[in-house]
Structure 1
Amino acid sequence: MQPMRWDELQDFLAIARTGQIARAAEQLGVDATTIGRRLRRLEARLGQVLFEQTRQGQALTEDGERLLRHVEGMQQMADRIAASARATGGLAGVLKVSVSEGFGSWFIARHLHDFVERHPGLTVELAANNGFLNPSRRETDVAIMLARPQAGPVVSGKLTDYRLSLYAAPAYLARCGVPADAAALATGHRLIGYVPDLLYAPELNYLDDLLPGLTANVRSSSINAQHRMIASGLGIGVLPRFIGDFDAELTPVLPALAFSRSFWIVTHRDTRQLQRVRAFRAWILETVARRRGDLTGREAPPPP
């Protein structure tokens, strides 16, 4: 028998307590057809009929009555755990967050103190690297990804758009000149970018957005390494605005060629309602909304 899911058991409990699928759906804030589908899936897993259809709604069968006793005990335990967490001052345990290297080290790391101060009982593990831990396999509680997953037992939504631009060090521009347009980048300029064979997401193929077929002369799998090479005067490269605009050593190049990408927040559907996951999701949405200018670009870096 396949393992039962807690959200299906909570749906069952709501139907048993309200006596109607429609009332349970209203209470839970979901569509009645969704509740009905989950109930049928639960009954199929158990090989039991849990409710009889009556004129008034749904009435528990004997199998349903037996299951209800177990589920009510589970709900009482969950309520006691939640009450204990509140009594001890809030959330506890480990929260795992997987995010791209640049966004993790240049945006989340810059603001994470706010989340940690709100939830001092949590241990936060931030995996900010090339490639993501897999929320489908529960390798992470939250993943902030460059594209929306097309399959798997996950729930996803757009977190934010962000802008990218070309940057160079003033010393490089003084030595090699300022390119007049995208075509000029292909002749007489050293470009810094990703290693094509090591791209972990097609969204990182930035140079094609500027000019089809444009390639980098110096390549790295790390956006932070690219950033340092650009700042050292080695060449011109694409950086997210939340990196480039915050480095006083860099100068924007051809700002009219700026383009956009998106971040998606992804959680496993069975753990998305965990308090620590809900708390982080609410915090990152709030932080992104408050710091939108950092992501889309600003006229000048903010004061330190």
Structure 2
Amino acid sequence: MDQWDDMRVFLAVARAESLSRAAPQLRMDAATVGRRIARLEARVGACFVKSPQGYALTDLGARMLPAAEAAETALGQVAEAAVAQTGQLSGQIRIGAPDGAANYLLPQVCARIGADNPGLEIQILALPRVVNLSKREADMALTVSPPDAGRLLVQKITDYRLHLAAEAQIAAKITTRAHLKDVPFVGYIPDMIFDKELDYLGPLAAGGVQLASNSVAVQAMALRAGAGVGIVHDFALPAMPEVRRVLTEEVSLVRSFYLVRHLSDRKSERLTRFAEAVSAGLRAEVARLEGAFP
């Protein structure tokens, strides 16, 4: 088992090409990951070439990689057998998502899936960027645009809606577009918008964004604190009782969530069942939360 655990650390570093990037996936600190790699290399030889740019595989490491991936696949097959025998999901599954979905939707959805499958460990990876499935940062990911490259399974889950919103006292003063010029805008850091579908404000904020963050949750807290006006997911509004939508007839956006998986996982009953449960749960949760704002 210790040898597989070493292979698990080896795989994470090989895919992340960095101790610090591999550490969160392994639930270790970077120093511990470094010690584990040193222990492995003391036993088998140098697996990585270290440089300021990160960790690159040596010839030995490149030869080890297929065997480590085969061991990973074999362990996955054990989990598949458990699904077939018990009817329940088990083991660890990681889903990546933009932080709007990760903060306001996935906790409820995954809690219900976890309650039905007590042997399952669900990890939600919230990132203000696209999750890299090719490096196995996650088993699957939510995106707001369907990827157009890579060997991937892509499924549209649901549409969702967004509107301009502000703290209640500020919102009461915004009854026409002309009033927007007198209110600061809250939004994304312009050069950190990682998907064109997240470029919500466009010409509305022609004068710039006065308070910006790469996190939807930070933007939400700023709006709750009265920092200005910004675009908010309708499904997030029930968690923001201080905030009200404004100009709903004039400014209304529709975006979509897609579930993206590795093509090689299409035969995995375990991951397919989890994907189906997440998709159904997200559709229901978006409908429930948006239902408060017809």
TM range (shorter): 0.5 to 0.7
Q: Give the SS at the match of 2:265.
A: coil
Q: Quick check: which has more Rg, 1 or 2?
A: 1
* Structure 1 residue 248: Cα displacement: 1.4
Change (3 A) 1:180 1:92: same
Cα distance in structure 2, aligned partners of 1:298 and 1:278: 31
Partner residue, 2:157: 159
Please state whether the residue corresponding to 1:98 is helix, strand or coil: strand
Quote the Cα distance in structure 2 between the aligned partners of 1:290 and 1:264. 15
Matched AA of 1:195? I
Q: 1:214 to 1:274 in 2, by over 3 A?
A: farther
Which residue does 1:259 correspond to in 2?
A: 253
Q: Is the 8 A contact 1:100 1:128 kept in 2?
A: yes
Deviation, 1:296, is: 4.7
Deviation at 1:161, TM superposition (A): 0.9
Q: How does 1:215-230 map to 2 (within 5 A)?
A: 215-230=208-223
1:135 match: secondary structure? coil
* Cα deviation digits, residues 6-40 of structure 1 (max 9, x gap): xxxxxxxxxxxxxxxxxxxxxxxxxxxxxxxxxxx
Counterpart in the other structure of 1:17: none
Of all paired residues, the percent bearing the same amino acid is 27
Shift, 1:121, TM fit: 1.2
2:286 aligned with 1:288, yes or no? Answer: no
Contact 1:146–1:262 at 8 Å: present in 2 too? yes
Report the counterpart of residue 232 of structure 1 in structure 2: 225
Q: Relative to 1, partners in 2 of residues 1:168 and 1:95: Cα closer, same or farther, differing over 3 Å?
A: same
Q: Distance in 2 between matches of 1:96 and 1:197?
A: 28
Deviation at 1:277, TM superposition (A): 1.3
Q: Report if aligned partners of 2:133, 2:262 keep a CA contact under 8 Å in 1.
A: yes
- CA RMSD, Structure 1 to Structure 2 (Å): 2.5
Q: Specify which of 74, 88, 91 is matched with residue 90 of structure 1.
A: 88
TM, length-normalised to structure 1? 0.65
What residue in structure 1 maps to residue 196 of structure 2?
202
Amino acid at match of 1:154: L
- Distance in 2, matches of 1:191 and 1:280, equals 39
Report the counterpart of residue 277 of structure 1 in structure 2.
271
- The aligned amino acid for 1:158 is K
Which stretches in structure 1 are left out of the alignment for 5+ residues?
1-76
Aligned ranges 1:1-304 → 2 under 5 Å: 82-87=80-85, 90-173=88-171, 177-181=173-177, 183-185=178-180, 187-208=181-202, 211=204, 213=206, 215-256=208-249, 257-294=251-288, 296=290, 298-299=292-293
Distance in 1, matches of 2:151 and 2:209, equals 37
User: How far did residue 201 of structure 1 move?
Assistant: 1.3
Whole-Å separation in 1 of the counterparts to 2:83 and 2:280: 23
1:129 shift after superposition: 2.0
TM-score by length of 2: 0.67
- Deviation of 1:164 after TM superposition, in Å, equals 0.3
Q: Which amino acid aligns with 1:141?
A: D
Gaps of 5+ in 2: 1-74
CA distance in 2, matches of 1:244, 1:150: 32
Amino acid at match of 1:249: E
Could you report, residue by residue, the CA deviation over 1:57-116 in whole angstroms, capped at 9, with x for unpaired residues? xxxxxxxxxxxxxxxxxxxx9998744444456332210100010101101112321100
Distance in 2, matches of 1:222 and 1:80, equals 38
Q: 1:270 to 1:179 in 2, by over 3 A?
A: same
1:225/1:89 Cα in 2 relative to 1: closer, same or farther (>3 Å)? same
Question: Quick one: structure 1 residues 292 and 193, their matched pair in 2 at CA, closer, same or farther if it must change by over 3 Å?
Answer: closer
Q: Which residue of 2 aligns with 1:49?
A: none
Aligned-pair distance for 1:295? 6.0
